[in-house]
């Protein structure tokens, strides 16, 4: 069993020393009450109340400390927390999440012997018979009139073993008046006050108050009072420090998780950009390879035709008439294929030029083009090359922001010039004030 090396504390606490070292189950919520958790654990074991009521619960740190001691010590105490869980002008108002968080914790741990009564303190009075409450914690509004009203209206509900505890007895900021009421009450009833964590007053109002609690309230020597306060303050600071450490650990862990998520997202973004660039370069290389292969095939075909023509010419070279007319005939025979070859080469150069202009343009949306024209996607064609070679001629749009048919009909000079309409718009149309689609406003 843990021990405290102090004869006064040992005599005072007697066999109720273990509770001082019990861990608090609800330490995550920030509370000015955290420093009194060891005392709350001890008080339940020392007083063994049949009924405990708390006025003003908020996040439930003090209430959970009492309930945890009831659960561990097996006192069979019935516990009731009374609060509107909306806040007040003094402490500030808060949203529904505070109540829902406490209710989830409460129902999981203490629902078998405890209840949360969502109402005002005055509304709850009728729920309790006079003389039925053994332990009352008053921690509602902290103005003098409010806390005095709570004390006066609830005092008849206390039993012959009744003990009342007040929080904030050592808080003297503007608006706090618990200390004024405490100054009056401590001269009327056996009492003890802890000064740490904003102060906690213990008042024995019942004529048959529990002996251990009454012994604490009868400690009268100033040196002994200081020693008791010092020991409980030390124990309370242990839990407050532990809660702070856990809070810091959660914050650090949360920041590490967030940084890891950001790092993973950045890595995925970089990889996605690299994959996109690789696909674009691969498509461009494939297009160039296809263009080169076509050029080779066309060159080979042209060379074969030239060789055949030369062979025919060679066979009739010795004819006098053919010798005189050979230049004319050769020219006529070679003119058509050479013209077609030159035209195809000009076409390929034009396609390569258009590809360079459009490949980095926001006006051509490859994903939109494939989604809109399923036949292009099913054919596995390069969307940009398809638009350059066939799409524009078929009056297909390169993206949602350019209307090919409308542009060609609206500007017949573009159609007459036989230039790709989007290339014309990027090179000339935009600067000339032409619109890419009917409702476009360039201003």
Give the model confidence (pLDDT) of 6-37 as tens digits. Answer: 544 554 555 455 667 676 666 655 577 889 99
Least confident interval from 224-228, 274-278, 335-339: 335-339
Q: Give the per-residue pLDDT at 261.
A: 82
Least confident interval from 108-117, 286-295, 321-330: 321-330
- What average pLDDT does the segment 268-288 reach? 84
Least confident interval from 148-162, 198-212, 305-319, 416-430: 305-319
- What average pLDDT does the segment 274-297 reach? 83
CA-to-CA dists, residue 230 to 96, 194, 351, 409, 439, angstroms: 38, 9, 89, 93, 80
Q: Contact at 8 Å (CB) between 77 and 210?
A: no
Q: Nearest-CA neighbor of 93 among 121, 42, 58, 55?
A: 58
Is the residue at 347 inside a domain?
no
Parent domain of 440: 361-443
For the cut 80, the answer to whether the pLDDT of residue 317 exceeds it is no
Q: Give the per-residue pLDDT at 436.
A: 93
Q: Contact at 8 Å (CB) between 70 and 52?
A: yes
Q: Give the per-residue pLDDT at 2.
A: 41
Q: Nearest-CA neighbor of 421 among 393, 399, 379?
A: 393
Q: Give the per-residue pLDDT at 348.
A: 85
- Final residue in a domain of this structure, among 219, 244, 276: 219
Q: Give the per-residue pLDDT at 87.
A: 78
| Most confident among 22-26, 75-79, 277-281 (mean pLDDT) | 75-79
For the cut 50, the answer to whether the pLDDT of residue 3 exceeds it is no
Average of per-residue pLDDT values in the chain: 85
Give the model confidence (pLDDT) of 112-138 as tens digits. Answer: 999 999 999 999 999 999 999 999 999
For the cut 80, the answer to whether the pLDDT of residue 275 exceeds it is yes
Q: Please, is 311 exposed, middle or buried when counting C-beta atoms within 10 Å of its C-beta (0-12, 13-18, 19+)?
A: exposed
Q: Cα(240)–Cα(245) distance, rounded to whole angstroms?
A: 9
Q: Which uninterrupted H or E stretch holds 135?
A: strand 133-138
Q: Nearest-CA neighbor of 198 among 239, 167, 235, 219?
A: 167
> How many CB atoms are located within 10 Å of the residue 422 CB?
26
Is the residue at 294 inside a domain?
no
- What average pLDDT does the segment 182-211 reach? 96
Query: What is the SS3 assignment for 344?
Result: helix
Is the residue at 248 inside a domain?
no
- Final residue in a domain of this structure, among 201, 219, 237: 219
Give the model confidence (pLDDT) of 168-177 as tens digits. Answer: 999 999 989 9
Least confident interval from 33-42, 81-90, 322-331: 322-331
| Most confident among 149-163, 245-259, 402-416 (mean pLDDT) | 149-163
Q: Which uninterrupted H or E stretch holds 285?
A: helix 222-315
Give the model confidence (pLDDT) of 89-107 as tens digits. Answer: 766 787 899 999 999 999 9
Q: Give the per-residue pLDDT at 263.
A: 80
Give the model confidence (pLDDT) of 377-392 as tens digits. Answer: 999 989 999 999 999 9
Nearest-5° angle of CA 221, CA 223, CA 228? 95
104 bridge partner residues: none
Is the residue at 400 inside a domain?
yes
Q: Give the CATH number for residue 81.
A: 3.40.50.150
For the cut 80, the answer to whether the pLDDT of residue 418 exceeds it is yes
- Measured in degrees and rounded to the nearest 5, phi and psi for residue 179 equal -60, -35
Q: Nearest-CA neighbor of 214 among 291, 162, 157?
A: 162
For the cut 70, the answer to whether the pLDDT of residue 319 exceeds it is no
As for how many domains the chain has, the answer is 2
For the cut 50, the answer to whether the pLDDT of residue 200 exceeds it is yes
Prediction pTM value: 0.55
Is the residue at 385 inside a domain?
yes
- What average pLDDT does the segment 411-425 reach? 91
Is the residue at 278 inside a domain?
no
Question: Where residue 308 falls among pLDDT bands split at 50, 70, 90?
Answer: confident
Q: Give the per-residue pLDDT at 126.
A: 96
Give the model confidence (pLDDT) of 329-370 as tens digits. Answer: 555 555 566 667 777 788 888 888 989 999 888 899 999 999
Q: Give the per-residue pLDDT at 356.
A: 92
Q: Contact at 8 Å (CB) between 81 and 55?
A: no
Question: Where residue 291 falls among pLDDT bands split at 50, 70, 90?
Answer: confident
Strands (E), 1-132: 51-55, 78-83, 87-88, 92-93, 114-118
Q: Cα(325)–Cα(61) distance, rounded to whole angstroms?
A: 115
- Final residue in a domain of this structure, among 194, 219, 244: 219
Is the residue at 297 inside a domain?
no
Q: Give the per-residue pLDDT at 18.
A: 66
Q: Contact at 8 Å (CB) between 40 and 65?
A: yes
Half-sphere exposure of 92 (CA within 13 A, CB side): 3
Is the residue at 276 inside a domain?
no
Q: Give the per-residue pLDDT at 91.
A: 64
Question: Where residue 234 falls among pLDDT bands split at 50, 70, 90?
Answer: confident
């Amino acid at each position: 069993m843990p021990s405290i090396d102090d004869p006064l504390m040992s005599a005072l606490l007697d066999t109720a020393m273990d509770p001082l070292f019990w861990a608090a189950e609800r330490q995550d919520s920030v509370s000015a009450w955290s420093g009194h958790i060891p005392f709350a654990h001890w008080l339940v074991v020392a007083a063994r109340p049949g009924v405990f009521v708390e006025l003003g619960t908020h996040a439930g740190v003090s209430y959970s400390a009492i309930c945890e001691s009831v659960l561990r010590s097996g006192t069979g105490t019935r516990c009731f927390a009374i609060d509107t869980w909306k806040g007040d002008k003094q402490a500030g108002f808060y949203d529904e999440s505070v109540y829902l968080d406490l209710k989830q914790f409460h129902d999981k741990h203490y629902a078998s012997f405890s209840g949360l009564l969502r109402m005002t303190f005055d509304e709850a009075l009728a729920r309790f018979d006079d003389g039925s409450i053994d332990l009352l914690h008053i921690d509602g509004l902290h103005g003098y009139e409010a806390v005095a009203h709570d004390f006066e209206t609830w005092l008849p509900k206390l039993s012959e073993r009744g003990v009342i505890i007040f929080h904030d007895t050592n808080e003297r900021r503007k608006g706090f008046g618990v200390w004024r009421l405490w100054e009056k009450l401590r001269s009327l009833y056996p009492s003890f006050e802890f000064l740490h964590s904003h102060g906690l007053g213990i008042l024995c109002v019942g004529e048959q108050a529990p002996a251990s609690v009454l012994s604490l309230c009868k400690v009268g020597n100033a040196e002994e009072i200081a020693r008791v306060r010092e020991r409980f303050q030390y124990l309370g600071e242990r839990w407050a420090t532990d809660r702070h450490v856990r809070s810091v650990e959660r914050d650090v862990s949360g920041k590490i998780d967030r940084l890891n998520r950001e790092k993973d997202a950045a890595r995925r973004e970089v990889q996605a950009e690299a994959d996109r660039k690789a696909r674009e370069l691969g498509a461009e290389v494939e297009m160039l390879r296809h263009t080169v292969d076509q050029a080779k095939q066309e060159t080979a075909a042209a060379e074969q035709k030239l060789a055949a023509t030369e062979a025919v010419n060679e066979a009739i070279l010795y004819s006098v008439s053919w010798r005189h007319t050979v230049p004319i005939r050769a020219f006529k025979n070679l003119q058509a294929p050479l013209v077609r070859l030159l035209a195809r080469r000009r076409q390929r150069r034009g396609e390569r030029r258009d590809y360079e202009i459009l490949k980095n343009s926001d006006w051509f949306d490859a994903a939109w083009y494939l989604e809109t024209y399923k036949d292009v996607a099913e054919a596995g064609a390069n969307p940009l090359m398809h638009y350059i070679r066939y799409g524009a001629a078929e009056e297909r749009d390169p993206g949602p922001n350019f209307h090919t048919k409308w542009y060609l009909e609206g500007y017949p000079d573009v159609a007459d010039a036989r230039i790709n309409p989007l290339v014309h718009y990027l090179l000339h149309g935009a600067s000339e004030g032409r619109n890419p689609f009917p409702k476009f406003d360039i201003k």
